[in-house]
Each structure stands twice: as C-alpha cells, then as structure tokens.
Amino acid sequence: MIYFDNSATTKPYPEVLETFRHVSEQYYANPSSIHRFGSDAERLLLQSKKQAGQLLGVEPDEVVFTSGGTEGNNLAIKGIALQHQNRGKHVITTQVEHPSVLEACKSIEALGFEITYLPVDGEGRISVDSVQNAIREDTILISVMHVNNELGTIQPIDEIAKVANQYPKLYFHVDYVQGLGKVTLNMRQSGIDLCTMSSHKIHGLKGTGMLYIQKGTSLFPLLHGGSQEASYRAGTENLAGIVSMVKALRMVLEKQKNKFDHLVGLRDKLRSELSQLPNVYLNSPESGAPHILNFSVPGFKPEVVIHALGERGIFISTKSACSSKQEDESAILNACGLSRELSASALRISLSYENSKEEVNNCVSALQEVLTELSGVMG
C-alpha cells in the first residue's frame, strides 16, 4: 500500500499508540478528582502542557488542549468575536481558508458580524497590502491559514503579524494545522495571538488538538461547565489523547529537523515526474510546503482516478477531506483564477517523512497506466 493522503490524516506512530494505551490503562482517573489517583493524572496533564509549551516555544499556560483543528478554529474565531463585539464586528480572513474557518465566519455573519474575504493571486497567496487596506476601526480579528491544505501555499504570516501588531486591539489568528511539523512558525516571535494545531496531522490520534492563546488574550468559551483548561474549554480532559499528542509533536519535530530535505526531495521528484506526463498541470507553487502537491488532469473526473489508483493500493485525494464528498470543483482553485476545467479535475498528493522515492516512482507509473486505460474507455 502507498499512502499519499497525509494532509487528510496521518498514520499514528507506533510509539504514540503505545503511549495512548499506557496512559489509558495507568492514568484513567479524572484529573479533577481530589484523591491521589486523580492527582497523578493531573500531574501528567500539567507535565504534558509544560512539554508542549517547550516544544512550541511558548508558556505552558498558553496551551489549551482541544478536540482538533475544527474546534480550535471555531474557538478562536467565535471566542474573539463574542468576547470583543462591543469594540467592533469586523473580521478579516481569506477566500482560501479551511471549511472550519469559512463556516465559523459564516456563522457569526448571521449574528451581525461583517467578514472581509480577501482574494488571492494565482498561487493562492494573499498580499500583505490587501490585509493592511482591509483593516478598519471596527476590525477585531484577522484569521489566515499558514499552509493551504489543498495547494501547499505558504502565507506571509510574519509580515501579516507585523501589520496586525500595529493595532493593539486587533487579534491575529493562524490556522497552523497543515504547517506544524513541516514548515516552521515561531509563534512567539511572529506576534501571533491565537494558533490552531491538530494531532492527527502529525501522526497523533484523532480527537485531540491544541490552541495557542497568547497571554493577555481573552476569549468567550464555546463550552461551559467545569473550569478545565483555564475555563476556556469545559469538560473532562482527554488525558491519553493529550499525552500521546505531545509525544507525536516531539517526534514529528525531530523528523522535521533530520528528514526535511528527504521530504523536499520527494516533493521535487513528484513535480518533475508529473510534469512529464501529458495533459497534467501542476497547480501548487514551487515555493510551497514540502508535503503537498496539487495537480489537474483535464477531462478526467478526480473520483474516478482516485478509485482506479485505490484498486492498485495507492491512496491520494482531491481537495480537503472535510469537503471532498461535495461537488468536484475546488473553491480554492477557483479563487486562484484557474479555469473550471482545471479546478474540477484537481488531485492532491500529500506526503509524510515516512514515504519513499520508490513509492513516488510507483505512484507516477500507476497514474500513467490509469490515465491511459481511462483514455481508452473514454475514447
């Protein structure tokens, strides 16, 4: 099997699964319980928060554990909007965000907020000037993803942060789900106020994530109840998921340090091989993230190609897994100005540090076979 859908989810590291099992068996007490067994669980929770902070270069109490990227994005956007609506009801984002950001923005539009959806260039990148020009007196939040989940485009986060930091009452949120472990982002130095991360994109388990909330940032919580996670997120903590996510974070950052060139090499080899196939158009920018490559094959339905490759044990995808079962056309490629022919025939290969050059070769060969077979059927 060749698994090339790592932007949708990653295979958990064996060590992460072992950590989850161990914590589930040995530390199953509620961290809020006052007995010694509960205190042991709480100690492990605090230790995990401390380790996460060290790995990310932030303070432990700036890390809030969530159920994943969708919750983190919703908490950041709705939390800021509801908490600070007395100062303004204007939010800035882009046309190429993940559905969890776009739908969260739509939800607060229904509450009377006004959203500016910034356009992007042909590579899916927004200009810093467009951000600057969109800021108004009543703007309270800017939300921009770091790495685009379909194209791999890297947004100019540091430059946007510099603009946002000129306005003391304006918050800056970054969706870092696709960039974590692949493209470095220094939250502290960048001046980011809120940053979303997800465990299952870094070889952790589904159902766990983190939201970095810079000290001094106040949010309206989405969940009310107990005082867990500094009252930002009520509910008994998923301790096994949290500990195993921190384990995955440590491991993927080590992989990034030692195998980054390997990942770039795989991506570049893919670009080179695919560019030589007839009727294949590369959509991802050359300066994009090292693990995502988007391409179009006009005249072929993406789901047909995906199923044909799947029968050969090769798994790739089309656009975001959160919207892949909707109509074929990619809204992100549309926003980049690509023709409907290209945006409706787009495919995405997303790599991990565990993939190999042999897998790249086999995938390209299989794709060539599939396109030749399908051309014969269509002909």
Active site residues: 322
List the structure tokens of 235.
Answer: 């509910």
Query: What does the alpha-carbon distance between residue 212 and residue 200 come to, in Å, rounded to a whole number?
Result: 17
Measured CA distances, 178 to 28, 94, 265, 346, 353 (Å): 31, 16, 19, 19, 14
Output the DSSP codes for 155-177: P-HHHHHHHHTTSTT-EEEEE-T
Residues in the chain: 379
Rounded to a whole number, what is the largest CA-CA distance in the chain? 72
Nearest to 56 by CA among 213, 190, 188, 144: 188
Q: Please report the beta strands in the chain, taking only residues with DSSP state E, as ranges in sequence order.
A: 2-3, 63-66, 90-94, 114-118, 139-145, 171-175, 194-198, 209-213, 281-282, 292-296, 314-315, 346-350
Number of Cβ within 10 Å of residue 214's Cβ equals 17
Secondary structure E strands in 69-182: 90-94, 114-118, 139-145, 171-175
Neighbours of 34 (CB within 10 A): 9
Closest to 95 in 3D by CA, of 118, 111, 123: 118
Q: Smallest Cα–Cα separation from 230: which of 61, 32, 52, 81?
A: 61
